[in-house]
Structure 1
Amino acid sequence: MNPLNSCFLDSLTVTSFFGNAEMRAVFNDRQLMQSWLDVEATLAQAQAELGIIPSVAAETITEAARVERLDLAAVSADAADTVHPLVPLIRALTRAAGTDAGRYVHLGATTQDVMDTGFVLRARAGLDIVGGQLDELVRVLRRHALRHRDTVMAARTHGQQALPTTFGLRAAVWQTELQRHRERLAQLRPRLLVTSMGGAAGTMAGYGPRAFELERAVAARLGLGVAPTPWHATPDRLVECLTLLGLIAASAEKLAREVYFLGRTEIGEAHEPQRDSQVGSSTMPHKRNPIRCEAVIAAASTLRAQVPLAIQTMVAQDDRDMGVGMTLWKLLPECFILIGGALQRLTEVFTGLRVDPARMRANLAATGGLVLSEAVMLRLAGPLGREPAHHLVMGIVRDSLDTGRSFGDLLRADRQVTAVLSHAELDNLLDPLSYVGHAAALVDRALLTSEAT
């Protein structure tokens, strides 16, 4: 890696926080240029198949259309001189193909046809990676759901303890959310994975009388679909892709924040893994900072912030508007790199997640039984009525909070309560395990449903 690289995502010091090697390999400069060269070669092959250009010319162009065969320094210099993103690459390919074959390079095409189709090819490779990462993360969360199916903990609403739940149910909920993203990826693919072959102004005029046949031949060779109309000024396909990455990023950030919160000193219910060589703080040796979770949060929030900008590119003028279109050149690689790194780090967190069931039980006991107030109120609602029972229990809760006395002790001292409930029944009602509802069954249903998808 170039130590003078000006892109923060590629900095020597932060590569362990943003991106991952697999996704970077898909979206580096060489691969992007190779995708455009692949489109140029495929166009020539399809034209030869239809007898539009000589077969030998297509073979020569295909052989020449390799990044390693081109003078990239010359391409870079030419780009600065021409102020054009693709012409330097076309010129280099034309030179590499030679005089006879070079005359057929880029025949009938326009820059955006080649670049957009190339970006679609890269997006397909990126989606393959994201899909695999989601599958792995779902598998890890399923294991937690099964292992902790009956591990009781406090559910929290409005930032406070609410009722008992299980860690297994929380993991099951998380994995079903990721499963829905997996479904969205599958639904996106046929809309996104199409060629762009509109020609200079979207009429396909430059491709000649057999333009539709040529379009189908190019699409078939690239393994893509055919768009019903040119989409130079309607980039909603790419925008939908980036929006979906934003949704996935939001889920990733949520999960990272869950672990971040559970690992607080005062909570201590779950912690991200720590290597022996890992440094938590440069000055405080006792710190075990959740750095992977923080990296996920940073990457995901950065990615989500790009979604409104991506949507803005849909406000394109006339039949082509590169004033907004060029924005996607930057957003597509960066967003894929950010989500690739975020999902990798999140998988590492949950693969090695240290769950502390004892601390979960201890935290449940911290309120002295107040988290079971609903269970007590509903049991009293039968003989007393719901509203009187709610009023009675709320008053006892307030006394507990004001005086510091145990909720259970106050219940046992209340004549209205003891007239209905025995001490043994109260003890059972104040056992967190007795009031996790259908948590285990919900885990089973969630995992059975995900297996069927």
Structure 2
Amino acid sequence: MDKGMDLSNQAIRYAKALAVSPIDGRYGGQLDVVSGFFSEFALVRERARIEVEWVAFLLESRIFKHVRPQEDLLNTLRRVGSDLTLSDFERVKDLERETDHDIQAIERFLREKLTSSGLERVGHLLHLGLTSEDVSSVAYGVLLRRFSNEVWLPLVDSLLDAVVAHQTEHRDSPMLARTHGQPAIPTTFGREMQVFHNRLRRARKGVAEAASRLTAKFGGAVGSLASLAVVRPDVDWITRADQFVSERGLRRTQVTTQIDDFASYELLFHCVSHANSVVQALCEDMSGYGLLEYVTFSKSPEAVGSSAMPHKSNPIRFENAEANAELSSEQLVAISRLLRRSRFQRDLRSSTVQRNIGTALAHSLLALDGTKAGLDQIQVQHQKMLRDVEESWGLLAEAIHTVARTCGHPEVFDDLRRQPLSTWTRSDYESFVDSLPIAVAEAERLRRLTPRLYAVGAFGSTSDGTP
């Protein structure tokens, strides 16, 4: 639960029981951390902090010299913006009902707090030269950047660790690869995990880079900083605005309407969706390996796999993760599409849409967490995988025709197609190799080959984390 939200355990349980969204209800215990970034309380607190930090910035810059920026004044000022309590939040909501304006309510609340803290002499600097979207854009950007760095990326790292653990442990465990669902050639379980490790690592890099390049709109009513330029035409307000936004870990979009163009948000959401798709593919494969009996899914002695079939143990963690990954991606696509559109300078659609960012990202967290939980519970069935490989001599047909082709006999490919490869035994394989019109040394190399040896391929093993 968010710091400042002093609620009893009973109140929390009651709220989760009555929640409409599963994010706050069924999965609330897993996702309490999200409320610290995307709840209404978190948004109000961050907006208040931005309002107060702008006042502090103006004072510290000595742009308006009639108020000296004493250290105790600045410390008290910043506490006003950051120490938001539940009763403060309720006061903001009362003011919002009066004003019918969320940012104006925060501004009025802060004026009250400044007065009660003996800081009324700086109250006139609140919201100076700003419009609502200046405050909201920076607030959302800060929250989104912090969430990405403090919550989403560490969870991906945890999932990557789980993938690497299987990659390392099973790097030499032969397994039949499948294309179109049908047997292809041997691989190893570790190498298949390596594939997902590399894909997920690239997706993580994309999210990290996008989160470091988030932009914010901060330029007054229509982005021109016009009112500030009138008040102090001698000040380089573009540089000052750039500095303020940069100090919050964001980049200021230089030319805007009343709102940002949200291109940086769209890039971040695309990268998260990319990661979601990798998670979906991993979950699909794990469920498929369960179908092939290459992995089993452990459960506690008290857990029930089916209300009718006591023997069932299902890939529920992976299936749940799949669904949440897809939900997250679909919502992020919709949010990106809607944020692109605005009537003239702005309309309020973007405000409504941004309030759903937390929900979309929460589903991504559920997908990441569920996938890791699934990987922690699987048990790889080495003997079953090895038996399937060792019984599949026909899968060495690729090696046969490749060697024959390099010896000038491409027609061997068609000869192999006419063979009953799915039923080949070792004897069948060796007889066909002996019939090839190739040098003795080449034939001997093929005779030494087995399906199990073919599994390691050019890598020799999958101990390295990169291809």
Q: One fold, TM greater than 0.5?
A: yes
The aligned counterpart of 1:95 is 112
Question: Is the alpha carbon distance of 1:111 and 1:416 closer, same or farther for their aligned partners in structure 2, counting shifts above 3 Å?
Answer: same
2:89 maps to a residue whose letter is L
Post-superposition CA distance 1:259-278 (Å, at most 9, x none): 111112xx111244433343
User: Structure 2: how far apart are the matches of 1:362 and 1:123?
Assistant: 49
Change in Cα spacing, 1:183 to 1:84, as seen in structure 2 (3 Å) is same
Q: Deviations over 1:191-224 (max 9, x none)?
A: 21x4431211111123343323532442354343
Distance change in 2, residues 1:69/1:134 (3 Å): closer
Q: 1:394-421 CA deviation, whole Å, 9 max, x = no partner?
A: 1112xx65xxx54545456669837878
Find the counterpart in structure 1 of residue 435 from structure 2. Answer: 417
Of 159, 162, 167, the match for 2:184: 162
Residue 78 (structure 2) aligns with: 62
How far did 1:119 drift?
0.8
Report what 2:454 is aligned to: 434
Whole-angstrom distance in 2 between the partners of 1:412 and 1:370: 11
**Structure 1 residues 63 and 426: CA distance shift in structure 2, 3 A:** closer
Which region of structure 1 is more displaced relative to structure 2, 89-98 or 292-301?
89-98
Equivalent in 182, 185, 207 of residue 185 of structure 1: 207
Q: Does structure 2 conserve the Cα–Cα contact (< 8 Å) formed by 1:233 and 1:321?
A: no
Alignment match, 1:395: 418
Change in 2 beyond 3 A, CA 1:419/1:236: closer
SS in 1 for 2:96: helix
- Residue equivalent to 2:37: 26
Distance 2:283 2:352 in 1: 29
Mapped pair 1:244 → 2:271: yes
Judge which range, 251-260 or 422-431, deviates more.
Answer: 422-431
Q: Contact between 1:191 and 1:237, CA under 8 Å: does it hold in 2?
A: yes
Q: CA RMSD in A?
A: 3.0
Of 17, 22, 30 in structure 2, the residue corresponding to residue 8 of structure 1 is 22
| Distance change in 2, residues 1:305/1:415 (3 Å) | closer
Spell out, residue by residue over 1:68-98, the C-alpha distance to the aligned partner (whole angstroms, 9 max, x if none): 1753334334434544332222222222222
Indicate if the aligned counterparts of 2:217 and 2:253 stay in contact, CA closer than 8 A.
Answer: yes
Greater displacement, 414-423 / 90-99: 414-423
RCO greater where, 1 or 2, for CA within 8 Å and sep 6 or more? 1
Distance 1:238 1:20 in 2: 22
**Structure 1 residue aligned with 2:6:** none
Residue in 2 aligned with 1:107?
Answer: 128
* CA-to-aligned-CA distance 1:366-389 (integer Å, 9 cap, x gap): 6x42222212333444667122x1
Q: Is the 8 A contact 1:233 1:314 kept in 2?
A: no
- CA 1:415 to 1:223, structure 2 compared with 1: closer, same or farther past 3 Å? closer
Q: In structure 2, what residue type is equivalent to 1:339?
A: S
For 2:410 and 2:95, how far apart are their aligned partners in 1? 79
What residue number does 1:202 align with?
223
How far 1:444 sits from its partner (Å)? 4.4
Aligned length: 433
Give the direction of change, closer, same or farther, for the CA distance of 1:435–1:377 in structure 2 (3 Å limit).
farther
Partner residue in 1 for 2:166: 144
Give the 3-state SS of the residue equivalent to 1:280 in structure 2: coil
CA contact (8 A) 1:36 1:118 kept: yes
- What amino acid sits opposite 2:133 in the alignment? Q
TM-score (norm 2): 0.82
